[in-house]
Structures are given as structure tokens and as C-alpha cells.
Amino acid sequence: MSQLTAAILNQLQTNYHQPVLRLATGNWFTGADLLEDIQLCRTSLGQQQLQAGQTILLSPTQPAVIPGLLIASWQLGLTVTLTPPSSHQPDFSPQAYAAMVFSPSQTTRLAHQLDPQQISALTLILNTAPHFTYFVHDNAETLTRHSRPDLILPADQRQLTQAELYQQARATAPTATCVINVYDYQHGLLPCLGSLLAAQPVTIKVGSVLAR
């Protein structure tokens, strides 16, 4: 377990009954809510035989699920590609992603187009997303890289390790109580992680990550 995931999990445990994440709609999520989601996601991804070195694509329109999915994925040694929702057809080749998360509408549309013999759709009931479905590529390959990042941000052309994220998030004073766009690294994701590390409740606006 990395310093980043250990520190966030510790803060969530410390604030088990306290609100740590809020949607602009007014929904609050406690440390317990996020811990339950992390455990459920990690168990589900692990049961699909995802392995360290594989990549998961995160592109949901439900921003509250992102922190839990990041931590669960990193606990399994997965590389996360975090990219804003798009209407473009994603790459479903086994060399691309072992698992994929899209918006509910795109997930529904893609579910009717994919070969169930190659890609499975799994549904979870999460606190941060009651009707959460993700795809798993049954023939995904483990990519070999000279240096494996933990987070890839195509929109920002960034690749970061958890150690780099931990240092930068700690150095980011969590003064903003509202994150406008979690896909914005400097003004969204870093303040969000910094708030979780500092146990400062943060609000995420849903409307900021609607599919383009």
C-alpha cells in the first residue's frame, strides 16, 4: 500500500461517521460510505482477475465515484487513465484497457454493441453511484513498460506515480471547498486528493463533467 492510499484510508477511517465528500445536489458521503465503495470496487475488480500492470479507463459522469475507484485500482496495482467523458468510440482492443468506466448513457449504448464473449458488464450498488456498471475485457493483456505510472491524464499529457501525487496533493492547500471539475488536474483532482488527505470536506459539482 502506498503512502497516498494509506493516508487517505486512514483519514476515511478516522472520519468514519463524518461527511467527507458532497455533491452540489446536497448528497453527503461519509468516510464509511467511501470505505465501503472502495472495498466493493476492489473486490469486484479482483474477482475479474485484473492484475498489476493492467490499465483501467475512468471516464464517468458521476464524479463522486472517482476517488474510490482511484484508490481501489491502485490497491490492485492498476494504472488508471482518467479522461473526461467523450462521445467518441473508445478503444476496446485487449491491448488498451482491462476495465472501463463510462457515463451511464454511454454504458447503456455500448452494452448493446459489445461482444459478451470478450467484454463483460458488471453492475455494483455503490453509495456514491447506486446504479454503477463497468466493463471488463476478458482477454486484456498486461502491458510491459520501462516505468509504469499510476495515473495517466491524456488531456493534460501527464503521467504520475502515486508518490508524485502524494507529494503534490500534500503541497496543495485544500482551501477550495468546491471542486468544479475533477478532470482538471491542477484545480480539480489535486485539491480533491488534498482535501481527503487533510480530512476537509469537499463539494464536487456534477454538471462540470458532462459528456462532451
- Are the beta carbons of 57 and 100 closer than 8 angstroms? yes
Residue 154 located in a structural domain: yes
Residue 152 located in a structural domain: yes
Domain interval for residue 142: 3-202
Residue 210 located in a structural domain: no
Q: Of 18, 9, 30, give the one whose Cα is nearest residue 127.
A: 30
d(Cα 113, Cα 37) in Å, to the nearest integer? 28
d(Cα 94, Cα 64) in Å, to the nearest integer? 28
d(Cα 180, Cα 78) in Å, to the nearest integer? 26
Alpha carbon 181 to chain centroid distance?
A: 14
Alpha carbon 43 to chain centroid distance?
A: 15
- Report the interhelical angle of 3-14 vs 162-171 (nearest 10°): 50
Residue 36 located in a structural domain: yes
- Give the pLDDT of residue 145: 54
Residue 125, Cβ density class (10 Å: 0-12 exposed, 13-18 middle, ≥19 buried)? exposed
- Give the pLDDT of residue 84: 92
Query: What CATH number should be reported for the domain holding residue 53?
Result: 3.40.50.12780
Reduced DSSP (H G I as helix, E B as strand, rest coil) percent helix, strand, coil of the chain, to 5: 35, 20, 45
Q: For residue 135, report the phi and psi dihedrals to the nearest 5 degrees.
A: -105, 145
Residue 27 located in a structural domain: yes
Residue 208 located in a structural domain: no
Domain count, the chain: 1
- Give the pLDDT of residue 138: 84
Q: Of 65, 90, 81, 75, give the one whose Cα is nearest residue 45.
A: 75
Q: Of 159, 148, 147, 211, give the one whose Cα is nearest residue 185.
A: 159
d(Cα 130, Cα 193) in Å, to the nearest integer? 23
Alpha carbon 115 to chain centroid distance?
A: 25
- Give the pLDDT of residue 209: 44
Helices (H) and strands (E) in the chain, counts: 6, 11
Residue 116 located in a structural domain: yes
Residue 133 located in a structural domain: yes
Per-residue pLDDT of the chain (212 residues), as tens digits, is: 899 999 999 999 999 999 999 988 889 999 999 999 999 999 999 999 898 989 999 999 998 999 999 999 999 999 999 999 887 777 777 678 999 999 999 999 898 888 888 899 999 999 999 889 999 998 776 655 556 799 999 988 999 999 999 999 998 866 657 777 889 998 889 999 999 999 899 988 754 444 33
